[in-house]
Amino acid sequence: MTSPVFPDTARAVIIGGGVIGCSVAYHLAKLGWRDVVLLEQGRLTCGTTWHAAGLVGQLRAHQNMTRLVQYSAQLYQNLETETGQATGWKQCGSILVARTPERVTLFKRIASAARAQGVACEIIPLAEAARRYPVMRTDDLLGALWLPDDAKVNPADVTQALAKGARMNGVRIFEQTRVTAIHQKAGAATGVTSTRGDIKAEVVINCAGQWAKQVGRLAGVTVPLHSAEHMYIVTGRIEGVHPDLPVLRDPDGYIYVKEEVGGLLMGGFEPVAKPWAMDGIPENFEFGMLPDDWDQFQILMENALVRLPCLEKAEIKTFMNGPESFTPDNNFIMGEAPELKNFYVAAGFNSIGIASGGGAGRALAEWIVNGEPTLDLWPVDIRRFARFYDNNAFLKERVSEVLGLHYMMPWPNRELQSARPLRRSPLYDRLAAQHSLFGSKMGWERPNFFAPGKEEARLDYAWGRQNWFPHAAAEHKATREAVTVADLTSFAKFLVQGRDAEVALQRFCANDVAVPVGQTVYTGLLNARGTYESDLTVARLAADRFLLVTGTAQATRDADWIRRHLGEFSATLTDVTSSYAVIAVMGPRARDLLSHLTKAPLDNAAFAFGAIREIGIGYATVLASRRTYVGELGWELYVPSEYAGGVYDALMQAGEEFGVRNAGYYAIESLRLEKGYRAWGRELTPDYNPYEAGLTFAVKLDKGDFIGRDALIAANEKPSARRLLSFVAASLDTPIAHGGELILRNGEPAGEVTSAAYGHSVGGIVALGYVATNGARMDDAWLSARFEIDIAGERVPVRASLKPPYDPAGAKMKA
Ligand X SMILES: Cc1cc2nc3c(=O)[nH]c(=O)nc-3n(C[C@H](O)[C@H](O)[C@H](O)COP(=O)(O)OP(=O)(O)OC[C@H]3O[C@@H](n4cnc5c(N)ncnc54)[C@H](O)[C@@H]3O)c2cc1C
Which residues of this chain interact with ligand X, rule CB under 6 A? 15-21, 39-42, 46-49, 51-55, 178-179, 207-211, 215, 230, 232, 267, 320, 322, 324, 347, 349, 351-355
Task: Name which of 322 and 769 has its Cβ closer to ligand X.
Answer: 322
Minimal distance in Å, beta carbon 670 to ligand X? Answer: 37
Q: How far is CA 23 from CA 76, 79, 97, 210, 522, in A?
A: 11, 12, 32, 17, 40
Task: Name which of 218 and 514 has its Cβ closer to ligand X.
Answer: 218
Q: How far apart are CA 699 and CA 72, in angstroms?
A: 37
Task: Name which of 241 and 281 has its Cβ closer to ligand X.
Answer: 281
Q: How far apart are CA 761 and CA 441, in angstroms?
A: 27
Task: Name which of 208 and 488 has its Cβ closer to ligand X.
Answer: 208
Minimal distance in Å, beta carbon 47 to ligand X? Answer: 2
Minimal distance in Å, beta carbon 81 to ligand X? Answer: 22
Q: How far apart are CA 380 and CA 385, in angstroms?
A: 10
User: In 10 A of CB 306, how many CB atoms?
Assistant: 15
Task: Name which of 334 and 791 has its Cβ closer to ligand X.
Answer: 334
Minimal distance in Å, beta carbon 297 to ligand X? Answer: 11
Q: How far apart are CA 588 and CA 608, in angstroms?
A: 15
Task: Name which of 54 and 708 has its Cβ closer to ligand X.
Answer: 54
Which amino acid type is present at position 641? S
Name the DSSP letter for residue 646.
Answer: H
Extract the runs of DSSP E, i.e. beta strands, from 40-149: 55-56, 94-98, 122-124, 143-147
Q: How far is CA 369 from CA 24, 205, 372, 611, 640, in A?
A: 11, 12, 8, 42, 43
Task: Name which of 337 and 663 has its Cβ closer to ligand X.
Answer: 337
Q: Which helix (H) or strand (E) holds 746?
A: none
Name the DSSP letter for residue 343.
Answer: E
Task: Name which of 307 and 723 has its Cβ closer to ligand X.
Answer: 307
Minimal distance in Å, beta carbon 8 to ligand X? Answer: 17
Q: Are 744 and 793 in contact (CB under 8 A)?
A: no
Task: Name which of 163 and 771 has its Cβ closer to ligand X.
Answer: 163
Minimal distance in Å, beta carbon 195 to ligand X? Answer: 8
Question: Smallest Cα–Cα separation from 275: which of 209, 227, 211?
Answer: 227
Name the DSSP letter for residue 61.
Answer: S
Task: Name which of 232 and 522 has its Cβ closer to ligand X.
Answer: 232
DSSP 284-313: T-TT------HHHHHHHHHHHHHH-GGGGG
Task: Name which of 42 and 610 has its Cβ closer to ligand X.
Answer: 42
Q: How far is CA 161 from CA 78, 86, 150, 740, in A?
A: 10, 7, 20, 35
Three-state SS for 520-582 is EEEEEEECCCCCEEEEEEEEEEECCEEEEEECHHHHHHHHHHHHHHHCCCCCEEEECHHHEEE
Q: Give the gyration radius of the chain's Cα atoms.
A: 27
Handedness of CA 595, 601, 604, 610 (dihedral sign): negative
Minimal distance in Å, beta carbon 2 to ligand X? Answer: 22
Q: How far apart are CA 670 and CA 729, in angstroms?
A: 14
Task: Name which of 175 and 575 has its Cβ closer to ligand X.
Answer: 175
Task: Name which of 17 and 165 has its Cβ closer to ligand X.
Answer: 17
Name the DSSP letter for residue 519.
Answer: B
Task: Name which of 42 and 664 has its Cβ closer to ligand X.
Answer: 42
Q: How far apart are CA 809 and CA 813, in angstroms?
A: 10
Handedness of CA 416, 422, 424, 429 (dihedral sign): positive
* Residue 218 CB partners (closer than 8 Å, separation 6+): 179, 180, 181, 182
Q: How far apart are CA 347 and CA 223, in angstroms?
A: 8
Largest CA distance in the chain: 85
Minimal distance in Å, beta carbon 291 to ligand X? Answer: 14
User: In 10 A of CB 261, how many CB atoms?
Assistant: 13
Minimal distance in Å, beta carbon 196 to ligand X? Answer: 11
Q: Are 423 and 258 in contact (CB under 8 A)?
A: no
Minimal distance in Å, beta carbon 100 to ligand X? Answer: 24
Task: Name which of 353 and 551 has its Cβ closer to ligand X.
Answer: 353
Which amino acid type is present at position 21? G
Task: Name which of 232 and 378 has its Cβ closer to ligand X.
Answer: 232
Task: Name which of 230 and 722 has its Cβ closer to ligand X.
Answer: 230
Minimal distance in Å, beta carbon 168 to ligand X? Answer: 20
Minimal distance in Å, beta carbon 50 to ligand X? Answer: 7
Q: How far apart are CA 149 and CA 69, in angstroms?
A: 11
Task: Name which of 210 and 327 has its Cβ closer to ligand X.
Answer: 210
Name the DSSP letter for residue 41.
Answer: S
Q: How far apart are CA 383 and CA 538, in angstroms?
A: 21
Minimal distance in Å, beta carbon 127 to ligand X? Answer: 28
Minimal distance in Å, beta carbon 68 to ligand X? Answer: 11
Minimal distance in Å, beta carbon 18 to ligand X? Answer: 2
> CA 214 from chain center: how many Å?
24
Q: How far apart are CA 345 and CA 216, in angstroms?
A: 8
Q: How far is CA 729 from CA 115, 713, 765, 784, in A?
A: 21, 35, 5, 14
